[in-house]
């Protein structure tokens, strides 16, 4: 097949775009799962969509490709372009514009009239008659396209006697362009807002965005399928792929909630897993496909359970890697008389747990959580002010202290030979959810 900018299957390019954007140092040889021809085609496509953001670098490992974007300087998520690259046939595009024209109202604002299939076929033939040698469309092809458009909601049908009549749906009202510009960047499935803006008169956006993660755009179809399942209160079969481990797995889950991080750019699904028999989490960018199952009668019960667990979830983890049902963490921070903003920082940034003022220079945070390792990165942001950091998880306590020692050494504040290297080789807590999802067969912590 000759090369085309368009693609049939979005999953084909999802991983490439992510790798080019998130890592940006991989060369063709690093994409060993695909043929070099596939790699070249996908790279060329992405370059065609995102040429303004593509950078190439020659390294000892070969030529690397990076997508580099300062998302603060742009007004629109560039990755939405990829969602506008679906392939189609000559017949698809021809029929689209002819059908929309035939079914359009005579005058703007008027109710569109209804047409029988026979009348539509006649009209299509009339248009195409102007082009000698142009292809024609038989009745069944046109009926199939109209059915497709009914499913999309842009064509309605009604039956009078034995005849089916087709009418264009209404709802072509113009939406405030600024509403679309804003929500298409910050709301879930924002790409749909960008689709709406494309069909309207163009108006420049008045907004820019800070701390703006744009990679989530690539998981839009997965997220949409998960929301569908939640709306239908049904279970799904999820196929996941862990790129680093090059391993696929699948399982049956009841999707309960999507948890979005605006500090790490990750999105997670919280779902009840039938294998593990507990509520667990997994990254959306690791989900390859969502296959809808039947209704789940226990959906509301699982949701209630998740709601009850939320006051003890710091991020997404619902199980400790120490095996304890619940872990306790607390620490105090010290600040000067003119640094009251530190206390306010604790109040503002805590997601669960409590903050108390001990005296005018000291505040204490404490929480009971399923997995206290999730708090470690946040606690480290208070380095320089920390006192009495206490984890009930003894291994975590030890690792936290060793990590701080190691940081002293990295910046030349202690002798590196005094460090015990083995203590820093623990498993990453951020990955434990997925590990536990696969390995844990135990009951849900409560």
Partner 1 sequence: MIFSELYSAYYNAVARILREAVSHPVTTEEMRRIIAENAFDESALAILPALSESRWPLLRKDGTTPLHAAPTMPLTKLQKEWINAISQDPRMLLFLKGTEMAETGEDGDADAETHEATVPLPYPDEKVLFAKEDYCVFDRYADGDPYEDPAYRAHFATVLEALREKKALRLEVRNRYGHLMQITTLPSHLEYSEKDDKFRLFGRASHRSDIINLARIDSCELCEVEPWMTERKQTRPHQDQVVFDLLDERKALDRVMLHFAHFERRAEKLDEKNYRVTLLYDRNDETEMVIRLLGFGPLVRVREPEHFVDLMRERLLKQQALDQGTLDQQAMERSEAE
Residue 225 contacts residue 290 (beta carbons within 8 Å): yes
User: Considering the rule CB under 8 A, would residue 227 count as an interface residue with partner 1?
Assistant: yes
Distance of closest approach, residue 202 Cβ to partner 1, in angstroms: 9
User: Considering the rule CB under 8 A, would residue 56 count as an interface residue with partner 1?
Assistant: no
- Listing from the earlier edge strand, what are the strands of the sheet with 327-334? 354-359, 362-369, 327-334, 386-391
**Ramachandran assignment for 90, one of left (phi > 0), alpha (psi -120 to 50 degrees), beta (any other):** alpha
Using the contact rule CB under 8 A, the part of the chain among 34-42, 98-106, 287-295, 320-328 near partner 1 is 98-106
Using the contact rule CB under 8 A, the part of the chain among 31-39, 209-217, 320-328, 438-446 near partner 1 is 209-217
Selected binder of partner 1 within 145, 303, 343, 438 (CB under 8 A): 303
Helix axes 191-198, 177-186, angle to 10 degrees: 150
User: Considering the rule CB under 8 A, would residue 117 count as an interface residue with partner 1?
Assistant: no
Return the residues of window 142-201 that contact partner 1 according to CB under 8 A: 151-154, 168-173, 175-176, 178-179, 182-183, 185-189, 191-193, 195-196, 198-199
User: Which residues touch 135 (CB under 8 Å, ≥6 apart)?
Assistant: 90, 91, 94, 128
Selected binder of partner 1 within 381, 390, 439, 446 (CB under 8 A): 381
**Ramachandran assignment for 348, one of left (phi > 0), alpha (psi -120 to 50 degrees), beta (any other):** alpha
Distance of closest approach, residue 249 Cβ to partner 1, in angstroms: 18
Distance of closest approach, residue 101 Cβ to partner 1, in angstroms: 5
CB count in 10 Å sphere of residue 338: 6
Give the residue with the Cβ less far from partner 1, 78 or 293. 78
10 Å CB burial of residue 294 (0-12, 13-18, 19+) is exposed
User: Considering the rule CB under 8 A, would residue 288 count as an interface residue with partner 1?
Assistant: no
Cα–Cα distance for residue pair 237/150, rounded to 1 Å: 27
Distance of closest approach, residue 407 Cβ to partner 1, in angstroms: 5
Distance of closest approach, residue 371 Cβ to partner 1, in angstroms: 13
Cα–Cα distance for residue pair 164/136, rounded to 1 Å: 22
Q: First and final CA of the chain: distance in angstroms?
A: 56
Residue 375 contacts residue 367 (beta carbons within 8 Å): yes
Selected binder of partner 1 within 249, 322, 380, 398 (CB under 8 A): 380
Cα–Cα distance for residue pair 16/43, rounded to 1 Å: 8
User: Considering the rule CB under 8 A, would residue 315 count as an interface residue with partner 1?
Assistant: yes
In b/e form, how buried is each residue of 371-399, taking b as 16+ CB within 10 angstroms?
A: bbbbbbebbeebeebbeebebbbeebeeb
Return the residues of window 66-95 that contact partner 1 according to CB under 8 A: 66, 68-73, 81, 83-88, 90, 92-94
User: Considering the rule CB under 8 A, would residue 40 count as an interface residue with partner 1?
Assistant: no
Give the residue with the Cβ less far from partner 1, 308 or 441. 308
Distance of closest approach, residue 442 Cβ to partner 1, in angstroms: 24
User: Considering the rule CB under 8 A, would residue 403 count as an interface residue with partner 1?
Assistant: yes
Phi, psi of 66, rounded to the nearest 5 degrees: -135, 145
Selected binder of partner 1 within 111, 262, 301, 308 (CB under 8 A): 262
User: Considering the rule CB under 8 A, would residue 263 count as an interface residue with partner 1?
Assistant: yes
Using the contact rule CB under 8 A, the part of the chain among 139-147, 272-280, 321-329, 424-432 near partner 1 is 424-432
User: Considering the rule CB under 8 A, would residue 104 count as an interface residue with partner 1?
Assistant: yes
Distance of closest approach, residue 116 Cβ to partner 1, in angstroms: 19
Give the residue with the Cβ less far from partner 1, 213 or 275. 213
Give the residue with the Cβ less far from partner 1, 257 or 320. 257
Cα–Cα distance for residue pair 127/329, rounded to 1 Å: 73
Question: Which own/partner pairs from 260-269 qualify as long-range (CB within 8 Å, at least 24 positions apart)?
Answer: 260/188, 260/216, 261/315, 262/211, 262/213, 263/211, 264/213, 265/213, 265/215, 265/216, 267/216, 267/219, 267/223, 268/316, 268/433, 269/226, 269/238
Distance of closest approach, residue 319 Cβ to partner 1, in angstroms: 17
User: Considering the rule CB under 8 A, would residue 221 count as an interface residue with partner 1?
Assistant: yes
User: Considering the rule CB under 8 A, would residue 305 count as an interface residue with partner 1?
Assistant: no
Return the residues of window 345-364 that contact partner 1 according to CB under 8 A: 347-351, 361
User: Considering the rule CB under 8 A, would residue 427 count as an interface residue with partner 1?
Assistant: yes
User: Considering the rule CB under 8 A, would residue 21 count as an interface residue with partner 1?
Assistant: yes
Give the residue with the Cβ less far from partner 1, 160 or 428. 428
Closest CA to 243 of 287, 279, 306, 212: 287
Cα–Cα distance for residue pair 187/182, rounded to 1 Å: 8
Give the residue with the Cβ less far from partner 1, 275 or 305. 305
User: Token match 């797995």: residue?
Assistant: 249
Distance of closest approach, residue 264 Cβ to partner 1, in angstroms: 5
């Amino acid at each position: 097949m000759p090369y085309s900018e368009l693609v049939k299957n979005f999953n084909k390019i999802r991983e490439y775009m992510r790798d080019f954007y998130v890592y940006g140092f991989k060369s063709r040889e690093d994409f060993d799962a695909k043929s070099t021809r596939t790699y070249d085609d996908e790279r060329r496509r992405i370059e065609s969509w995102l040429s303004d953001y593509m950078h190439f670098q020659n390294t000892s490992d070969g030529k690397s490709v990076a997508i580099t974007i300062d998302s603060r300087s742009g007004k629109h998520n560039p990755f939405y372009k990829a969602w506008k690259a679906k392939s189609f046939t000559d017949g698809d595009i021809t029929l689209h514009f002819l059908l929309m024209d035939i079914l359009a109202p005579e005058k703007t604002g008027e109710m569109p009239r209804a047409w029988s299939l026979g009348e539509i076929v006649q009209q299509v033939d009339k248009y195409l008659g102007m082009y000698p040698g142009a292809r024609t469309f038989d009745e069944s092809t046109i009926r199939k396209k109209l059915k497709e458009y009914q499913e999309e909601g842009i064509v309605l049908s009604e039956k009078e006697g034995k005849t089916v009549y087709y009418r264009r749906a209404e709802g072509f009202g113009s939406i405030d362009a600024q509403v679309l510009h804003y929500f298409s960047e910050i709301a879930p499935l924002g790409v749909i807002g960008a689709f709406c803006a494309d069909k309207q008169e163009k108006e420049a956006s008045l907004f820019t965005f800070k701390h703006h993660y744009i990679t989530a755009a690539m998981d839009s179809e997965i997220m949409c399928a998960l929301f569908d399942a939640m709306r239908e209160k049904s279970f799904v079969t999820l196929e996941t792929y862990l790129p680093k481990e090059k391993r696929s797995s699948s399982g049956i889950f009841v999707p309960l909630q999507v948890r979005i991080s605006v500090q790490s750019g990750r999105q997670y699904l919280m779902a009840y897993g039938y294998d593990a028999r507990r509520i667990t989490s997994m990254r959306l960018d690791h989900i390859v496909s969502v296959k809808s199952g039947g209704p789940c009668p226990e959906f509301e019960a699982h949701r209630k359970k998740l709601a009850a667990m939320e006051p003890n979830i710091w991020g997404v983890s619902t199980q400790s890697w120490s095996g304890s049902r619940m872990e306790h963490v607390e620490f105090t921070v010290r600040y000067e008389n003119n640094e009251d903003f530190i206390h306010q920082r604790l109040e503002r940034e805590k997601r669960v747990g409590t903050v108390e003022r001990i005296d005018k220079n000291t505040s204490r945070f404490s929480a009971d959580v399923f997995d206290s390792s999730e708090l470690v990165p946040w606690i480290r942001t208070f380095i320089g002010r920390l006192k009495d950091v206490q984890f009930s998880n003894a291994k975590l306590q030890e690792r936290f202290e060793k990590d701080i020692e190691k940081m002293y050494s990295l910046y030349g504040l202690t002798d590196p030979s005094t460090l015990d290297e083995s203590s820093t080789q623990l498993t990453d807590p951020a990955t434990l959810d997925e590990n536990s999802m696969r390995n844990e067969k135990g009951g849900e912590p409560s």
